[in-house]
Amino acid sequence: MPNCLYCQQQNPPKQAECDNCGMPLPEHADSAPERRQRRFMWFCIWLTVFCGAMIVWLPRHLF
Ligand SMILES: [Zn+2]
């Protein structure tokens, strides 16, 4: 029985949201941080590549 993190309400299995308060239950919320972390990792890679390209591309005598 998944317990709601917000109101401690017992919910039936395979329920996506809490019966009492409507917040997402732990089983479904668990996959979200990993996806967010991967998106953040790709953002860091993209930023690194972008900075590298800018360092090479921008004329140095302007600074
Ligand atoms: Zn709840």
pLDDT in tens, 3-53: 888 999 898 888 888 999 998 887 655 556 677 889 999 999 999 999 999
Distance 8 CA to ligand 1 centre (A): 6
In degrees and rounded to multiples of 5, residue 42 shows phi and psi of -65, -35
Distance 30 CA to ligand 1 centre (A): 16
Q: 3-class SS at 59? A: coil
Distance 39 CA to ligand 1 centre (A): 28
Give the residue, 61 or 51, on which the prediction is more confident.
51
pTM greater than 0.75: no
pLDDT of amino acid 32? 63
What is d(CA 2, CA 60) in angstroms, rounded to the nearest whole number?
A: 59
- As a whole number, mean pLDDT of residues 53-60 equals 86
